[in-house]
Chains A and B, each alone.
Chain A
Amino acid sequence: MTPKGDGAGPAPPTTPAAATAGGVRPRSPLAAIVGYTLRACLPRRRGLLVLPVVGAVLFGLLSRTVDQASATAFARVGGLALHTLVLPITCLVIGDALLGAEIRSGVFAFTWLSPVRYSTIVLGRWLAGCLLAVALLAPAAAAAAVVAGAPSSAGPAAVAAASGAAAYLALFVAIGATFKRPVVWSLALVILVERLLGAALAGVAQLSPGWLAQAVLVGLTDTASDLHRDGVPHGWSAVVRLALVAAVGLILATRRLRSLRPASAAD
């Protein structure tokens, strides 16, 4: 394009090669998407993001009321509350903002109408969400463990929160790319599938980020054996399972983007 005021018409169309040849090296689209997502997509009232930290610490304090070894009490009360409430709700809020909210508003067209591969778009959005979720939840979980009097559980709690968040966000990104009301579907996944079905069926729990995150904490800490669920991997095996769940979520989201009809605000 010709700068304004030069009196000449605009330059003839340039080819992509000409546009990228020479000059300053172009920025990676993945980095651009991560940066954009952190700036533009995440909740406007960022002060609210302190809530999960406060909640986690309060649940840590609640663990002190249980008359058991600190690590066991934290896993039984604080850890459970973290993985069934704080983790999924925080990830739901962040996950919807990563993709679903943009698709609904029509803003996603700015990203979709680019030569960037769908997988890069999904990966960039997810990475940005992970950065925020891990920055919030891992320290919060560690702080909860310390407050609960089980500092040795701080590391495992942080690992459980981080790996659980990665899996949840991938699933919520996939749901955001698939359904018109992703929040409803995400809540249905957490409440109906994970909590109700997952409590009864080990097969569901094996794929549930919430149950698997709890299994990470239980497996990596010296806690009561009754917290181990049959058929559900524990410790680092659960981390690997969560990574697989995240990968499947990202693949589903990528496939879904191929057939997406990005909405306009008029739709």
Chain B
Amino acid sequence: MTDATPTDPAFVAGATVEVEQVSVWFGQKVALSELGCSFGPGVTGLLGPNGAGKSTLMRAVTGLIGVNTGRVRVEGHDPRRDRSVHRRIALVPEDEAVPGALTARQLVRYVADLHRVADAGAAAERALDAVDMLPAADRRLGGFSKGMRQRAKVAAALVTEPSVLVLDEPLNGADPVQRVKLVDLFRRLGAGGRTVIVSSHVLSEVELLADRVLVLIHGRLAAAGNHRAIRDAMDDRPRHVLVRSDDPRRLAAALLDVDTVAGVSFTGTGLVVTTDRARDLALALAPVARRLGVRLREVRPLDDSLESLFRELVR
């Protein structure tokens, strides 16, 4: 664990997982390119489009694949070479592959036995209970829905009480109620001192889930920090603000004369103002409306969510 206090948002103080200039390629395809970042206690969200390298990074962190250049350390150890690391780290893989002939209880118990967990039966019960799987614990995994398989895999990961938990799209297929419960579970695990790394395509959930976000694009780190910090780091990119008023046409014409406004367009719900400096726009908007006698009904940034950040980053 490093004690340095990094200034780069890609790195954290007291990191338990360190990724140093890591490149991974499969034949001609580069999956990760000189990626550097670190993870510490708490929940970190990993975002990126398909093929961005999220799963590759997670597999490298857990030692499932080796890296071509650079190095990965989990609590100071190489997860690829040092098998003892697996006592402290667990992965919930994205794919649906499970041993279909086993029941959920048998799978969790098997993982507990491999890790020599004391009183594995009781530990398996607790892990299954944590993901609400006890009622279905004695059903075969082959008959489970996607969401139930995911929960069974989460239980199998939790049974070893890992200090580093890597979750690749863990909410896939979960129903809304289970999503809320799993999000709550992961947050509690992070708050309890575990390093939780979670990837998801459901970005609104990551906003709720993660204290910190890393955005991967084409195997490179595109942004890091909380989602607002990432947005601030992108100030040179245009932002879009929805402005609803009682006279959008007059307001639009006046806004075109404001320096900070790069463009205006009409939508069914109002004006969409494009600006390079959102703060200046906010200061200028009210005086312009007052001068025109136009009543503002709503002013709302359209791209402050992770979804919109994501769209901009991959554009």
Residues of A within 8 A of B (CB): 1-4, 9-14, 16, 19-29, 31-33, 35-36, 39-41, 44, 102, 105-107, 109-118, 259, 261-262, 264-266
Contact = CB atoms under 8 A, between A and B. Distances in A.
Contact of B65 (A31, A102, A116, A261): A261
A14 B163 CA distance: 7
Contact of A265 (B64, B87, B96): B96
B55 A32 contact: no
Given A26-B113, A115-B84, A40 B94 contact: no
Given A9-B191, A10-B189, A113 B86 contact: yes
Interface residues of B, number: 58
Contacts of B156: 110
Interface stretch (B104-112, B198-206, B240-248, B286-294): B104-112
A33 B116 CA distance: 12
8 contacts: A1-B123, A19-B87, A26-B120, A28-B113, A40-B102, A115-B83, A262-B64, A264-B55
B114 interface: yes
B96 A10 contact: no
Contacts of B94: 264, 266
Contact of A13 (B96, B98, B122, B162): B162
Given A44-B101, A264-B97, A32 B110 contact: yes
Given A21-B118, A39-B106, A10 B64 contact: no
B115 interface: yes
**10 smallest beta-carbon distances between A and B, as pairs:** A32-B113, A13-B163, A265-B95, A106-B97, A114-B114, A40-B99, A26-B116, A23-B119, A10-B192, A24-B119
Contact of A261 (B64, B111, B118, B162): B64
A24 B115 contact: no
A20 B117 contact: yes
B127 to A, nearest CB: 6
A14 B189 CA distance: 13
Nearest to B116: A26
Interface string B212-239: 0000000000000000000000000000
B117 A19 contact: yes
B100 to A, nearest CB: 8
B65 A27 contact: no
Contact of A3 (B62, B65, B126): B126
A258 B294 CA distance: 71
Contacts of B93: 106, 109, 264
Given A11-B192, A19-B115, A40-B102, 18 more contacts: A1-B130, A1-B161, A3-B130, A13-B193, A16-B88, A24-B119, A29-B113, A32-B110, A32-B114, A36-B110, A102-B99, A105-B97, A107-B97, A110-B110, A113-B63, A115-B84, A115-B114, A266-B95
A23 B118 contact: yes
A109 B110 contact: no
Contact of A266 (B55, B64, B161, B194): B55
A20 B122 CA distance: 13
A81 to B, nearest CB: 32
B62 A113 contact: yes
B263 interface: no
Interface in B28-71: 55, 59, 62-66
Interface in B177-199: 188-189, 191-194
B99 A110 contact: yes
B14 interface: no
Contact of A9 (B102, B114, B123, B192): B192
Contact of A24 (B64, B83, B101, B121): B121
B19 interface: no
B192 A20 contact: no
Contacts of B83: 114-118
Contacts of B162: 13
A4 B130 contact: yes
A110 B155 CA distance: 12
B150 interface: no
B115 A27 contact: no
B129 interface: yes
B10 interface: no
Contacts of A31: 113
Contact of B193 (A12, A32, A266): A12
A112 B64 contact: yes
Contacts of B192: 2, 9-13
